[in-house]
């Protein structure tokens, strides 16, 4: 009976594989016929569709204009003209939100760096000047002690050393002020993202209809390019730190919502039933049972939020946010690689420290039965207060010794240590030594590989594109998925940006193929031993903390401003998820199958091809799915150093008065491209899991 079942399973698997392969072969034939037969003429709708949605960006601009100036007018008192004016309610709401965020961000900065801006925002310039009011700065040595103490409490000595040394480096290298500006940005946005994400996540968990409504919205929000949010935010909220904060909140909240829903869904039914049987009210059940049980997943969501907020530091500088991101952008614009590297290194250090701290917080289990006195509970806080008092006193005494700048409060960049000149020297040496080789590679790569590939994508008729994409979706996922993918593709095809979308597709395709190949090779080799797997996953964790913009720094000075630079940065950035999921896939192969293969006398190559790789494919496919999103993000970000794709159009929209509609439209195009691939790959991975009997 067992042999008969195995035979039937084998036959069924073979039939499915052969059927799918045959369908893909027919699809490829139809695609190639349409690709080469359809004439290239703008009058031929099989080549390019008419631009019926050309006015779509204008419709969005019209909605924004009416929301800001016409809808729901209310009487508002103008203190300058001493009269009431009619203004749109939405505009007053955005103005109020901007003011509140400005005050909160500036308050954190004044508390850490000192100043009068917060008091002036609240009380006015004249009153503050007359009363000579100011907020004293927090001495940086006290902050270094505080960072080290938090690390020790969360993870012991090693984590304390990581945090303390990183903070000390930032201070003595003259990067304290921009780093604190960046950190204050995170201190404001992270709690807001946490509260919004937790609230919406709980609502989605309690109401299935809400969760169903949230999913497509979250998919679009997480796949839209970050630049696409900036232009409408400028139109609605203006320029400044508050605009950067709002953009960050929009981008960083979705992962918190997803992690909250996921954590609450994973709670065992027994825990829920125990809470109900204990007589808990709905409120008590939620906040005393469910949320504490889902604590780890929720705190992992906080970790993701922090990383997203930090990744936005450079992007937010385009709407006026101050900090390391602004310094990095200015340095790169003037091609000062040394200064850019110093700012980038500080961003990386902050990212690594916050990542390790938040992960340690998520992993730290609370002891509900500990019986500690006041000192034992609060000793780290007491130590920090003592350090704050001591160093504040030293800094106060230092005012008598320093004329203009008190180095106990901050060290300015021109007085701090620097490695910028050494980095510039290394850059010059690389250019002098490898210029010819790099130039030859760059020209070959552009003319012999990227050029023909770009031309082949631009020569693709719209009808052939629909056949390929919708056909693949139909074979893998069925008619419903094929129609959804076709509708999203049609939305792009009916616009005037179809060719730009094809350029984006060509760059993303190349980056995804190269990243997937790298990830499969590295992951396969690393999975051969437990130690290599651990090291590889740790390296992936480290590189994943890097804000995406950091990857552009080294490639700019190696390959200048070309598609080569963007694609190499995209490949490095997108290789991380491909490698991680490949390692996870090979580690998920049951030990019994490894032993069965060894006992059958197969070689390592045979075992890899016939046992390990087929079982790891579902994980690898999910990794490729993530790789698509990562590659698209980096390709769009490459507009900062010059590309011709949708990203360049989104970036150009920043300087246009009608740019909001264009940015949102093009952002939706990129999002639809990512979601289309996600629909196909995710369904393919699910089918492979069912076929292999993996739950």
The tens digit of pLDDT for each residue in 253-280 reads 999 999 999 888 888 888 888 888 888 8
Q: Is the pLDDT reported for residue 334 higher than 90? A: no
Per-residue pLDDT, 694? 63
Judge whether residue 517 has pLDDT over 70: yes
**Whole-number pLDDT of residue 14:** 47
**Which fold is adopted by the domain 435-461+497-692?**
MetI-like fold (1.10.3720)
Looking at the predicted structure, is the pLDDT value of residue 217 above 60?
A: yes
Beta-carbon contacts of residue 98 (< 8 Å; ≥ 6 apart) = 237, 238, 240, 242, 243
pLDDT at 534 over 80: yes
Closest CA to 159 of 303, 355, 302, 357: 357
Residue 436 pLDDT: 84
**Residue 87, beta-bridge partner list:** 74
d(CA 161, CA 478): 54
The predicted model gives 623-650 an average pLDDT of: 85
The answer, yes or no, to whether residue 9 has pLDDT greater than 50, is no
Q: What is the pLDDT at residue 193? A: 92
**Residue 602 pLDDT exceeds 80:** no
Distance between CA atoms of residues 141 and 11, nearest Å:
70
Indicate whether 181 pLDDT > 60: yes
Which helix H or strand E contains 85, and what residues bound it? strand 83-88
| 15-29, 236-250, 251-265, 285-299: least confident range | 15-29
Q: What is the pLDDT of residue 428?
A: 82
Kindly tell me if the per-residue pLDDT of 7 is higher than 50.
no
DSSP states along 411-445: --TTTS---HHHHHHHHHHHHHHHHHHHHHHHHHI
Per-residue pLDDT at 392 exceeds 90? no
pLDDT for residue 164: 92
The chain-wide mean pLDDT, for the chain, equals 85
Q: Is the predicted pLDDT of residue 408 greater than 60, yes or no? A: yes
For residue 170, the model assigns a pLDDT of 92
For the chain, the domains span 75-131, 179-326, 435-461+497-692
Strand duo 73-78 + 83-88: pairing: antiparallel
What is the tens place of the pLDDT at every residue in 549-569? 778 878 877 777 778 888 899
Q: For position 6, what pLDDT does the model report?
A: 42
Lowest mean pLDDT among 64-73, 147-156, 163-172: 64-73
Position 530 scores a pLDDT of 86
Coil, strand, or helix at residue 603?
coil
The C-alpha atoms of residue 610 and residue 453 are separated, in whole angstroms, by 33
Token readout for 196 is 């919004």
The pLDDT value given to residue 695: 56
pLDDT tens track for 393-403: 888 888 777 77
Phi-psi sector, 279: left (phi>0), alpha (psi -120 to 50), beta: left
Band (pLDDT 50/70/90 cuts) for residue 26 is: very high
Q: Over 34-46, what HEC string results?
A: HHHHCCCCCCCCC
Residue bearing tokens 């700048």 = 405
Give yes or no on whether 179-326 and 435-461+497-692 have one common fold: yes
Q: 676 versus 20: which is more confidently predicted?
A: 676
**28-45 in b/e burial notation, b at 16+ Cβ within 10 A?**
eeebeebbeebeeeeeee
Alpha helices (runs of H) in 38-85, residue ranges in sequence order: 56-69
Q: What is the pLDDT of residue 505?
A: 93
pLDDT over threshold 50, residue 10: no
- Please compute the mean of the pLDDT values over residues 313-321 and round it to a whole number: 83
Place of tokens 């204008």: 58
Instruction: Assess whether pLDDT exceeds 70 at residue 162.
Output: yes
CB atoms within 10 A of CB 363: 12
pLDDT at site 18:
54
More confident residue, 37 or 398: 37
Q: What percent of the chain has pLDDT over 90?
A: 25
pLDDT for res 12: 44
Mean per-residue pLDDT, 657-681 = 90
Mean pLDDT, rounded, for 306-323? 84
pLDDT of 1 > 50? The answer is no
Q: What value does the mean pLDDT take over residues 66-82? A: 79
Please name the CATH architecture into which domain 179-326 falls: Orthogonal Bundle (1.10)
pLDDT of residue 457: 93
650 within 8 A of 639, measured Cβ to Cβ: yes
Asked if residue 669 lies in contact with residue 501, where contact means CB atoms within 8 angstroms, the answer is yes
pLDDT digits (tens, 9 = 90+) for 343-391: 888 888 888 898 888 888 888 776 666 677 777 788 888 999 999 999 8
**pLDDT score, position 48:** 92
On whether the CB atoms of residues 683 and 477 are closer than 8 A, the answer is yes
How far is residue 332 from each of residues 325, 417, 557, 685, measured CA to CA in Å? Answer: 11, 20, 10, 41
Poorest-confidence range of 115-124, 257-266, 567-576?
115-124
Per residue in 464-506, pLDDT tens? 999 999 999 999 888 999 999 999 999 999 999 999 999 999 9
């Amino acid at each position: 009976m067992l042999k008969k079942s195995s035979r039937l399973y084998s036959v069924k698997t073979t039939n499915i594989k052969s059927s799918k392969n045959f369908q893909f072969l027919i699809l490829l034939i139809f695609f190639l016929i349409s690709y080469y037969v359809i004439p290239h003429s703008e009058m031929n709708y099989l080549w390019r569709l008419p631009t019926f949605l050309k006015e779509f960006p204008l419709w969005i601009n019209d909605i924004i204009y009416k929301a800001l100036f016409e809808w729901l007018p209310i009487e508002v008192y103008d203190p300058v003209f001493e009269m009431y004016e009619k203004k749109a309610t939405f505009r007053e709401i955005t103005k109020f939100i901007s003011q509140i965020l400005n005050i909160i961000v500036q308050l954190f900065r004044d508390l850490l760096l000192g100043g009068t801006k917060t008091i002036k925002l609240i009380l006015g310039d004249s009153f503050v000047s007359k009363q000579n009011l100011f907020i004293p700065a927090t001495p940086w040595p006290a902050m270094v002690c505080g960072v080290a103490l938090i690390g020790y409490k969360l993870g012991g000595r090693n984590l304390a050393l990581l945090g303390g040394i990183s903070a000390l480096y930032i201070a003595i290298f003259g990067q304290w002020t921009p780093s604190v500006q960046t950190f204050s940005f995170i201190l404001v946005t992270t709690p807001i993202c946490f509260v919004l994400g937790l609230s919406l996540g709980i609502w989605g968990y309690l109401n299935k209809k809400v969760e169903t409504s949230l999913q497509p919205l979250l998919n679009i929000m997480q796949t839209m390019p970050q630049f696409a949010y900036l232009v409408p935010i400028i139109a609605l909220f203006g320029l400044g730190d508050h605009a950067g904060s709002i953009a960050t909140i929009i981008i960083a909240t979705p992962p918190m919502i997803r992690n909250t829903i996921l954590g609450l869904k994973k709670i065992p039914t027994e825990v829920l039933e125990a809470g109900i049987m204990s007589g808990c009210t709905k409120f008590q059940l939620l906040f005393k049972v469910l949320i504490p049980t889902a604590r780890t997943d929720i705190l992992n969501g906080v970790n993701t939020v922090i990383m997203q907020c930090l990744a936005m530091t450079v992007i937010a500088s385009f709407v006026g946010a101050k900090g390391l991101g602004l310094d990095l952008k200015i340095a790169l614009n003037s091609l000062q690689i040394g200064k850019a590297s110093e700012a980038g290194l500080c961003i990386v250090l902050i990212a690594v420290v916050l990542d390790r701290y938040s992960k340690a917080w998520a992993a730290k289990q609370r002891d509900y039965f500990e019986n500690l006195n006041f000192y034992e509970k609060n000793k780290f806080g007491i130590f920090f207060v003592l350090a704050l008092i001591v160093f504040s006193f030293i800094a106060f005494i230092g005012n008598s010794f320093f004329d203009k700048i008190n180095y106990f409060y901050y060290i300015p960049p021109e007085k701090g240590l620097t490695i910028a000149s050494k980095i510039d020297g290394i850059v010059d040496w690389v250019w002098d030594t490898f210029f010819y080789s790099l130039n030859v590679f760059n020209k070959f790569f552009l003319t012999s590989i990227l050029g023909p590939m770009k031309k082949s994508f631009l020569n693709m008729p719209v009808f052939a594109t629909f056949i390929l994409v919708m056909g693949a979706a139909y074979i893998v996922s069925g008619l419903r998925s094929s129609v959804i993918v076709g509708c999203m593709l049609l939305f792009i095809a009916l616009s005037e940006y179809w060719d730009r979308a094809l350029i984006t597709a060509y760059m993303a395709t190349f980056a995804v193929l190269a990243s997937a190949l790298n990830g499969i090779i590295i992951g396969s080799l690393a999975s051969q031993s437990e130690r290599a797997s651990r090291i590889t996953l740790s390296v992936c964790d480290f590189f994943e903390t890097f804000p995406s913009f950091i990857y552009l720094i080294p490639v700019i000075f190696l390959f200048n401003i070309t598609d080569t630079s963007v694609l190499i940065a995209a490949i490095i950035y997108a290789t991380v998820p491909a490698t991680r999921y490949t390692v996870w896939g090979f580690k998920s192969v049951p030990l019994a199958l490894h032993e069965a293969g060894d006992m059958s006398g197969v070689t390592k190559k045979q075992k890899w091809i016939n046992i390990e790789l087929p079982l790891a494919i579902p994980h690898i496919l999910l990794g490729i799915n993530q790789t698509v999103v990562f590659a698209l993000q980096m390709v769009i970000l490459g507009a900062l150093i010059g590309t011709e794709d949708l990203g360049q159009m989104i970036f150009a929209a920043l300087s246009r008065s009608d740019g909001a509609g264009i940015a949102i439209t093009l952002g939706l195009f990129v999002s639809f491209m990512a979601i289309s691939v996600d629909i196909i790959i995710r369904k393919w991975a699910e089918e492979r899991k069912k076929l292999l009997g993996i739950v």
